[in-house]
Structure 1
Amino acid sequence: MWRSSPWALLPPVYSGLTAAGLWLVYFVAVKDEKIAPLGSTYRRRNGSFYPPYISVAGNFSPASCVFSEVMNLSAFVGFLIAVLRYLQLKHRTPHQWLNVGSLVAFSIGCFGMTLVGNFQLFTEEMIHNLGTLMTFGLGTLYCWVQSYITLRVDLKKEGRKAGIVRFLLSGSITVCMILYFSLMGRRLHMQAAQCQWALVMFFIAFIGTFAIEFRHNRFGIVCTDSCGRPASRSEALSEASRYQPDQT
């Protein structure tokens, strides 16, 4: 019998569908001979076979159409997950400013994802690269802050195990990002593209780990009559508890 909250399905489904969408963009671009396959020996020939960066794969139609949809939907659902995570920790973390700050940072990063998806690299390079920096930079910061909060809050005594996993993923993301920019600077484009794909997959996996805590919570919206008297805080909490029997 399924005893966990159905909200636990949201992070892994988000991660799986986002990864599938990005790989679909990659395979369409490879099939159309716009980018070189990952792992191949990259040589620029006759204006074709660009290095397999994610942004380059999503630069050419029809892959660009899929890429825009994937990035827009991922940004929206990612923002939703971040809001739910904020609400989950709102009355539990000892450093509330970290919780608020991480939500703000990730929200800006999600906006950066929409810039990446809607402003193609070869047409609006400056805006596209700004979106990339916002997504990678603030996304990485979010991962480190959430890893720290996971250990401090220790929901259901699972914080240590979940925190170790998240610190490992955060470290992997950071290493991949450093290698990505370093290899790009040395014009080792194939290796840089491989690091970029690894970075994004690690980040997607990090978001998927929120299922660990989400399985203990039920989120809902309480609608009240605006014409009636405002409910006191104790009444509001009592009413909310009726709809959140499994909340930690």
Structure 2
Amino acid sequence: ERIAPLGTKRTANTNVSSFSTFSIAGNFPPASCIFSEVMNLSAFFGFIIVVLRYLQLKPRLDKAWLNVGSLAAFSAGCFGMTLVGNFQLFNDEMIHNLGTFMTFGLGTLFCWLQSYITLRVNIRNEGRTAGIVRFLLSGTITLCMILYFSLMPQGLHVQATQCQWALVMFFLFFIGTFAIEFRHSRFSAVCTDDSGTPVNLALSEVSRYQPDEM
């Protein structure tokens, strides 16, 4: 039998070699089990981050629809991550591709919205620096996504796969930039007994004269 080229994987039920795209890398067990767990945890922590970001921006942003739209976009994107992780490409391609579109499409929209919001809010006069970094990352993410969908139909699978993996990495870098603003805020959850008082999530500004904390 002819050996498949480096970067490809031959499946048991088909004679077509499949390149190691993000989805195919987590398609077969035991990698699929780890892939599902990682995607589910990423979706959970991503949702927590976007909720905290929403609470941080709520008293500062005059256009509430930007904040709500950003929250809704990334929340749907997080749900898309669970679809990508739990519905493998070769088992349920339609649902898997739907999750991919939600994750990358709505995730990219979230990046552009947050880049604009960062400049508009300008927390502690750091918005310009953080905003420029996020605009550059958003542009790179968009470019990687365009290149991926342009290269795949041309049969340039290796180059397309490289763009897809780069896209994921730049997404992670973008999420990591929220540490810039989060270090200025302190989030605390308050839970009471059965007296009827609802659970409250409080947000307060960290003092300039106190050490940064979450």
Fold in common (TM above 0.5): yes
Alpha-carbon distance in structure 1 between the residues aligned to 2:34 and 2:22: 12
Superposition pairs for residues 2-81 of structure 1, below 5 Å?
36-37=6-7, 47=15, 50-81=18-49
Aligned to 2:175: 207
After TM superposition, the runs of 4+ consecutive aligned structure 1 residues lying more than 2 A away are 33-37, 42-50, 222-230
Which string of whole-angstrom CA distances, capped at 9 and with x for unpartnered residues, describes residues 190-235 of structure 1? 11100000111001100000000011111011234664789xxxxx
CA RMSD of aligned residues (A): 2.7
Which string of whole-angstrom CA distances, capped at 9 and with x for unpartnered residues, describes residues 119-144 of structure 1? 00001000000000000000000000
Indicate which of 104, 119, 124 corresponds to 1:151. Answer: 119
Alpha-carbon distance in structure 1 between the residues aligned to 2:34 and 2:80: 17
Q: Which has the higher contact order (CA 8 A, sep 6+)?
A: 1
Alpha-carbon distance in structure 2 between the residues aligned to 1:229 and 1:61: 47
What is the percent sequence identity of the aligned residues?
69
SS in 1 for 2:185: coil
Alpha-carbon distance in structure 1 between the residues aligned to 2:207 and 2:98: 39
Aligned to 2:90: 122
Alpha-carbon distance in structure 1 between the residues aligned to 2:63 and 2:189: 26
Q: Which runs of 5+ in 2 are unaligned?
A: 209-214
With over 3 angstroms needed to count, the CA separation of the structure-2 counterparts of 1:36 and 1:85, relative to structure 1, is: farther
SS in 2 for 1:64: helix
With over 3 angstroms needed to count, the CA separation of the structure-2 counterparts of 1:118 and 1:36, relative to structure 1, is: farther
Q: Name the TM-score, length of structure 2 as normaliser.
A: 0.86
Alpha-carbon distance in structure 1 between the residues aligned to 2:177 and 2:114: 11
Deviation of residue 94 (structure 1)?
A: 1.7
Deviation of residue 43 (structure 1)?
A: 9.4
Alpha-carbon distance in structure 2 between the residues aligned to 1:34 and 1:68: 26
CA contact (8 A) 1:35 1:51 kept: no
What letter matches 1:193 in structure 2? T
SS in 1 for 2:102: helix
CA contact (8 A) 1:35 1:50 kept: no
More strand by share: 2
With over 3 angstroms needed to count, the CA separation of the structure-2 counterparts of 1:95 and 1:60, relative to structure 1, is: same
Which string of whole-angstrom CA distances, capped at 9 and with x for unpartnered residues, describes residues 163-215 of structure 1? 00000000000000000001112121111100000111001100000000011
Deviates more, 1:146-155 or 1:185-194: 185-194
